[in-house]
A and B are shown apart, each in its own frame.
Chain A
Amino acid sequence: MAELHIIGEIVSGVGFSSPNLFCSWKLSYGNAWKELGGDTEGQTHVDIPSDYTTAIFSHPIHVHLATRDVQGWPRILFRVYRESIFGQSELCGYGVTYIPSTPGMHELSCHVWKPVGTLLHQVLEFFLGGSPELVDDDVILSGTNRQRICTTTSGKLKLRINVITRNFDKFNVDI
């Protein structure tokens, strides 16, 4: 059976309106995949950068997966939150990106977006903080409902991911 090691880190978040960020991440994969070791979800610390531009997470990710199929290739799903000066957390955006399938080191950047919400939401957001959030994360993953939401850019997450594959060639999968 083929195995996939994902070793990497969430390097930083750039381009967000506020750099005081933290993000929770989750690895999502198909039924044919099995987690052998490592954490498939986690959350970074809150970074309050002193240069006010880039939030550095350097959050390690290490997962060992086994698979019997290439379908449902793992994706990594992010939710970026912003921590306000009052210690409140509000959603900054969502992002999803596939784990690269070629072995080696990859520098990825995951674009993060955020739903706009209704006018009321926007008014609330402006005055009270908080943000419209997706009720279901499936929207981020599947895309069947994505056309129904109106989104705005939040920023970019930078990832550095090392992929190690094993035994894929045994099943005639060229990686």
Chain B
Amino acid sequence: MSKTQLFSPDIIEEISLSESHNEGDEVDKIETNTVSIEDALLQRLELKKQNLQKKLAGRRDSDSIQIAPPENNSESQSGSGLHDRLKQKLLAMRESASESKLEGGNVLLEQERVQKGRKKEDIEMSLIRKPLRSLPPIATDRGSSKSPVVSFQNENADMHLNQERSEGDELDGIFSRNLLDQNDETASDATEIRDDEDSIHSETIPFISQEPLDILVYQPPRYRYAAERLEQENTVLFAKQGLFPPENNPVTLEQKQGSDLELRVAQEEGLYVPEVMLPPNRTLIAMEHRIVREKAKNWFGEDGQLKGLTGKFQTSSKKGLFHQRKELFSPTNHLIQYQPSAVFPNLDRQSVISNPNQTDIISTNIHLSVYISSLRFTHHWLFSNEHLLCCTLYALQLQYNRLKERDSAEMHFRHLQALRRQLRSLKAEFDKLMLQSLTGIEIEQKANDVTQLKQEISEYRQLRSVELEKEQQLLKRIFKVWSQLKQLRIEQGYVSTAARLRIKKTNVVDVEEDRVNFLTELEEELMELKEEHDEKLSGERINYEVAYDQWRRDQGERKKLLDDSQGSALSIPPDTPPPVPVSEFVEAEVRRRLNEEYLAARRHPGQPVLTPELYLNMPISGQIEDQKELSRRREIEKLSFFIRVRVNGETACETRHRKLKQDFIIDFQEQFQLELRHKPESVILQVYQASFNPALLAEVPCPLPIDIPVQKPATNPMLQSLDFTYDKVMHVKLGLGAGIPSRGGGILPYTTGVLNSSAELYGQSGSNCTERDEWKGYGKLAKLPLDAEKIRATLTSSRLDPNDPRNIPLLQLLRSLPTEDSSNTFRLTRMDLVRPFISQREFLSNPNFNTIKEKHQFELSSARPVQYDDELTMLADSPVRTQPSLEDIQPMSDQDFTPWHPGTEKFYQMVKHDISKQAEIKTPDYTLEEVVIEDPVPNTGILTKYIHQLFSPKRPLQPKRVPRRTLPSKHTNIRELNLVLRVLQGYNFPTRVIEPDKPGPRLGRTLAGQWRESSSAHVSTMMSEIQEDISEDDTPNETNPFIEIRFQGTTYRTKQSLGVNPCWNEELIIKFHTPVPTSTFSADSLLSSTDILYFNAFDLVRVDALEDERLRANTIKERLQYRWLGSFQIPFHTILVNSRVDGTFKMQAPKMLFGYERADRLDDTDMQLSMFITLDPLIKPHRSIYATQLDKDDKKQIEKFKHETDSLGNNFPDREYTVSVCDIDGRQVIVNRYISPLNPPESLLSQEDPCNLKSLQRISRFVSLIPFLPDSQCLEGLSDVWVPAEEFLKLRCGDEEEHATLLLNYFLFLDIEAWLVLGFGIPEGSTSYVLSRDKRSRSFCLWNPSNGERFAPSDVNCPLLHIYTVLSAKKIHFNIQSSTKPSDIIFDFSNSRKWKTCVVAEGIPQNSLQPSELVYTPPDLAKASQLQDTIQHRLQHRIEKWRSRMPTHWNRYASDMLNEQLIKCEESYPHIPEFELKQAFEALFTTFQIVGFPIHLTPTSLKGIEEQVYTTGIHTCQEPGVEYVLACYVHPYPSDVHSIWIYLATMVPRE
């Protein structure tokens, strides 16, 4: 259902009211309990019903009808506004009812009901029977039976009233458009309605009995012409509502003002009238019409125009931010850029985050457009006299034009007139007031005003005359110069300038009027002058009289004095002249003077007005004979100029070179577009005279607009004339010259000119937006720190003329200034708002925050928690600490013995801190495979392989190696990590010695034999089998070795094998436990693991433990003895770093082992074990910190060498060529700087020949005794750091490279040819060895610095597997041979086909990082013995603890004996005096069965010593009556280096 509201509610009200009268037939149904809206409706229906009843009653001529007021019920129910409205209607209804003369008569309620019911039935029936004619669609919203539906039909209009519940609880009928028509006819007159009503009623009665044929009638679409409708609307609406139909004709002045008022136009009076903002013309006319109709004359100003606000409505444009969509698409918009879709390489989208190119584009958002139009010389050294005159003329004309343009004389005149008028009126008022004899302030004020006005008038009068005089003089000068020019042209016979003056003569139209005007002005001035004079006179006359009286009195006194004292003239005042009386105003004289002045300064009355006009169209005569002039002209043509634009002092662009023309004007017409990042500070135009060496004539700063529009203004640039002067004196033959005295006297000006150009800025600028809009207009003023009060005071006191256009901006400023009241209002100033919690300095220096930051930096690589102690914070905050020095470090505690310096850890921490500060933290680029683990989708290739495998012959004896996948450990989630270890084979294991007198193991067999003899036959076969087993298993001479691996406190062992070269080929899987249980297997945490893999070879010995021989027949009682044969260790990190350790390792076997002997007596064949270790899953840890900063001295060298190695790397990708290493400051330095001779400890050198082998061995032993600590353990995540020898010795710990460099430097000191070898070895991976050449034999020799062993390069057992780089102090040799094995390498460094040699620059060796000399502390015997005791006690204690289940007896005697032997061992190292040892124990052997060995420990902590002793398993001996022997010897070496020997043995007493 549509709801149309064509008119205002009032009208609807009216219509609905009338409509209710029109209703003829009604059908209703009353429900008793209805909601309020329905109440209202019902009420209405009730009314209708009453109407009906009345009518019916009238028709039936019933006597009395009681109008029962039904509204009582409804009114009591609700009191809403709706009801009020209905009440009104009701009242109207009552009136109409009374008018219809239906009164009196009581109808009973029962009657009424009966009637109603009957009627209802009738109508319902009729409705059913008879469909309505042309029934309009009845929309029944609710459609419920409750809602009474009323429909009625009219002849004229289809009206359907439908009760509906509208949203606003508003009762609305629906009116078809035709209602309007009807509405026109239904006037508000009640009687008419009644008539109408009656007629409708009478017509609708037959409706019940209508013919069915007439049901459908075609109704053409109803339409009314617009004009018709408009007219109706006009008559109905505008008249009723007081609206005004729009009119198009402008309102005439008479209409506006009436006929009585005369117009006054302020502009004509010379007053400044600011622009009035008026609406568009059409609206204006409409407004005026309405005002005229409403007779509100005060809306019109004196000039008959609509009054309006002057100036801008708003000081700032609020619409400034709304940009048209069009602008978005404009090319100047740099906000958005189209980015083509692209594939990012390497999945690296970091570039997306910060694209440097983008930022470039953003910042260039200011455009500077410089337009250089033309250059005109106002004076030039090649000017001729004619030019000079011409220029003067030009300048004068320009001045004149400006004057005329301003026309201030005329303006002043108008102003004067207005003032005079005002004065007159004021005077009249004043007089009136005087007449009324009012006193007080008013009169005084008026009088003041009058005087002020008078003063103003005189001021303006003077101004006017000055202006007029100026104009007149200018005219005269122009004419004079022009005549001179003409004269000159005639004299010289040619024309060389284009100037031509035309004097326009305008005759005065009315001469008489002109004359009258002239005279009136004169008279007026005269009058005013007279008045002024009179006033002055009246004022001064009094003064004069007073003065005169005084004078006379003085005079009298003087006379008296003169008379009194004849002789002495001392005290007589001098004779003063009498005061001059004020002269009278002589009118005639003043008039004459004025007339003269007027005539001199002004145009004579009646004379024509002369207006000069300068044209530059005079043809320059080409054919001339004057040679000088000709050459001058030629000279001019030779000159050319150009203009250079400099922005912020930088040359931005320059124009083309243009030739000077005869008129001294150069047309450039060039425009430059510059893109700038910021608003330019200055734009300077430089005028250059083009030549081979361009001469700068002048620099002209180009003014720039203060505010920058966003868009380029569409209008043409406003050309600015910039004057410039070339202040150089020019003497020229051909021209007049510049800056020199002219012939005619005076000095010629310097070369000057005018440059016509424009510079504009546009584009988006960030600062522009913040600038306050209202300040923009005032230029520099806005920039000044403004004291609003002061400005206000100044501006108000200066009494600015509001009518002067020049003052407008200032007045606006005054208006925009904050008023005094505003200072009292609360305002959130920025300063109040910005109050940070603490100062910036405090914030930055907060130690807590710094610690947290440090923590995060330290956390880069370690999963271990870092201690945030104060020390660390201090360490991080210490301002200048270039290099970590050992002096800073205090030893921590002395509780636990560590072989290295107690402060080592701290030192490394500092080093790491330094390095990580400088170094680049590099996260490796991961590939997808590294991050995402997924099983490959089987493709044909893989499938083929599998299929091939299926059909290929199986070869179990030749297994193929399956490559393991490497995982980057950082981002993988590894559940568990296993060490996969395959023990392959051992070599050169010792043989067990059978002791003849007491063969322990053999005992069983003899006993068995004995037993066999006495046993029955049937058992014998069985027993013989056993016998055979035993004999096979228990070969007495052969060792039964097995390998025990101890890792993280867990022991794993292989099966036992047999013989000297046992073969196991057994795979063991060792589980790795993380150091911290919760942490994951990140590379960094793994790298920091200090776990060591101990390999021990044991011999399994079965000892018969059967004590009762009788039981032997059916009892086997044996005891297993594990006898330690040898061991070696691999740190876990070595496996991790190399990811695979594969090879044959030398086992540290005791040189002398009781009860065993070597099968092979050869000295250099050691016990060896070949095996293979790897990780599962294979983790490849990344180093996260790289030192990238190159040392500035070595920078060139390193870069050069790096280049070399890079090219070599192409050929040998596997080889690791080392050029530079990281020093303790975190810089990359060249390796050679570590190589320089260093003195070894004196005590180590043998006296006779320091270079003999023994001495060298001793030195290498000393070096190897310095404890070993891998860098990766103390510097997690860092690459190797090379520590110089001094620190190395002080710290007493280091990596291979420190050992190697130290050993090398010692060798170099002893003048032995030696090199540093960088390569790959087992087990440590990348390693450093020392290569030396014997002086005599010229044979090479490789030294392993970490254990002091010596190998010949040809030795297959050499743990150094690959050699990549060999370095000497001055050279670096890169191995470019096909093989890298030491045995295959030819050590001929001069051979360029084998070695690529790079020579280090001269300065490098001098710039060594090593100290010039090492200072050693002497061996500390006391400390050594103390340590010895500590170790001995500790071990004794430990062994007792480990054997806690049984008593441990110590054999002191043997201990002392062994101790002596250990000293001998140390002395004779590396050769063990085996024989001597044996001899010493000879006596003991008889009574004891001794198993024991000396251990030379690699220097480690006490805990490490314990661990090593524990792994030997000596404590497991469970023989009854076993006695333990423990001997310990610590030999001191210089610089706190110790050699530790431990002798362990068990002594089992023989029976």
Contacts and interface: CB of A to CB of B under 8 A. Distances in A.
Interface of A: 1-2, 22, 24, 26, 32, 34, 36-38, 41, 43, 64, 66-69, 71, 79, 81, 84, 86-91, 115, 117-121, 124-125, 128-136, 138-139, 144-145, 147-150, 170-171
B325 A150 contact: yes
Contacts of B341: 84, 88-90, 128-131
A151 B329 CA distance: 13
A28 B291 CA distance: 60
User: Interface residue tally of chain B, by bracket?
Assistant: 35 or more
Nearest to B322: A147
A172 to B, nearest CB: 9
Given A1-B838, A37-B852, A88 B342 contact: yes
B343 to A, nearest CB: 5
A147 B836 CA distance: 32
B837 A171 contact: yes
A120 B361 CA distance: 20
Interface string B828-857: 000000101111101110101100110110
Given A1-B849, A36-B856, A135-B362, A121 B836 contact: no
Interface stretch (B352-360, B981-989, B1016-1024, B1219-1227): B352-360
Contact of A68 (B344, B836, B848): B836
A37 B361 contact: no
B338 A89 contact: no
Contacts of B852: 36-37, 64
B74 to A, nearest CB: 54
27 contacts: A1-B837, A24-B353, A32-B843, A34-B849, A36-B849, A41-B353, A43-B350, A43-B353, A67-B837, A87-B343, A88-B342, A89-B342, A89-B349, A90-B341, A124-B338, A132-B336, A133-B336, A134-B336, A135-B334, A135-B337, A135-B361, A136-B358, A136-B362, A145-B764, A147-B322, A148-B323, A150-B325
Contacts of A90: 339, 341
Contact of A134 (B335, B344, B836): B335
Interface in B315-340: 321-323, 325, 327-329, 333-340
B1401 interface: no
Nearest to A89: B344
B769 interface: yes
B349 A24 contact: yes
A22 B323 CA distance: 33
5 closest A-B pairs by CB: A129-B341, A130-B341, A69-B836, A37-B856, A136-B362
A68 B329 CA distance: 43
A148 to B, nearest CB: 5
B828 to A, nearest CB: 13
Contacts of A81: 349, 352
Nearest to B327: A148
Given A134-B335, A136-B358, A150 B340 contact: no
A24 to B, nearest CB: 5
Nearest to A82: B341
Tell me which of A37, A38, A81, A91 has the highest count of chain B C-beta atoms within 10 A of its own C-beta: A37
A147 B849 contact: no
Contacts of B328: 118, 148-150
Nearest to B710: A148
A106 B358 CA distance: 34
A86 B327 contact: no
A113 to B, nearest CB: 13
Given A34-B843, A34-B849, 5 more contacts: A24-B353, A115-B336, A120-B338, A135-B361, A145-B335
Nearest to A171: B837
A131 B353 contact: no
Contact of A37 (B335, B843, B848, B855): B855
A28 to B, nearest CB: 12
Contact of B769 (A118, A144, A149): A144
Nearest to B857: A37
Given A81-B352, A88-B342, A66 B337 contact: no
Contacts of A148: 323, 327-328, 333, 335
Contacts of A130: 338-342
Contacts of B321: 147
Contacts of A170: 837
Max count, chain B CB within 10 A of own CB: residue among A68, A132, A150: A68
B339 A91 contact: yes
Given A24-B352, A68-B840, A87-B343, A1 B846 contact: yes
Interface in B754-775: 764, 766, 769
B338 A22 contact: no
Contacts of A64: 852
Contacts of B333: 148
Nearest to B357: A135
B837 A37 contact: no
Nearest to A173: B837
A152 to B, nearest CB: 12
Contacts of B853: 36-37
A86 B840 contact: no
A170 to B, nearest CB: 8
A141 to B, nearest CB: 12
B323 A147 contact: yes
Contact of B335 (A41, A43, A136): A136
A66 B844 CA distance: 10
B837 A2 contact: yes
B853 to A, nearest CB: 6
Contact of A131 (B338, B844, B846): B338
B946 to A, nearest CB: 29
Contacts of B323: 147-148
B335 A149 contact: yes
Interface string B857-896: 0000000000000000000000000000000000000000
Given A1-B838, A89-B349, A145-B764, A68 B843 contact: yes
Contacts of A67: 837
B1488 to A, nearest CB: 66
The residue among B335, B343, B838 with the most chain A CB atoms within 10 A of its own CB is B335
Contacts of A22: 349
Contacts of B358: 135-136
B840 to A, nearest CB: 7
Contacts of A36: 849, 852-853, 856
A76 B358 CA distance: 21
Contacts of A128: 340-341
A32 B766 CA distance: 21
Interface in B491-544: none
Contacts of A147: 321-323
Contacts of B353: 24, 26, 41, 43
Given A86-B343, A88-B343, A89-B344, A133 B849 contact: no
Nearest to B838: A68
Contacts of A84: 341
Contacts of B836: 32, 68-69, 71
Given A34-B849, A129-B340, A136 B855 contact: no
Contacts of B322: 147
B335 A139 contact: yes
A126 to B, nearest CB: 12
Interface in B1506-1551: none
Contact of A69 (B325, B340, B837): B837
A71 B833 CA distance: 9
A131 B837 contact: no
Contacts of A132: 336-339
A66 B846 contact: yes
Contacts of A134: 335-337
B970 to A, nearest CB: 15
Among A69, A90, A128, residue most surrounded by chain B Cβ atoms (within 10 Å): A69
B339 A79 contact: no
Contacts of B329: 118-119
A117 B322 CA distance: 17
B849 A66 contact: yes
Contacts of B848: 1
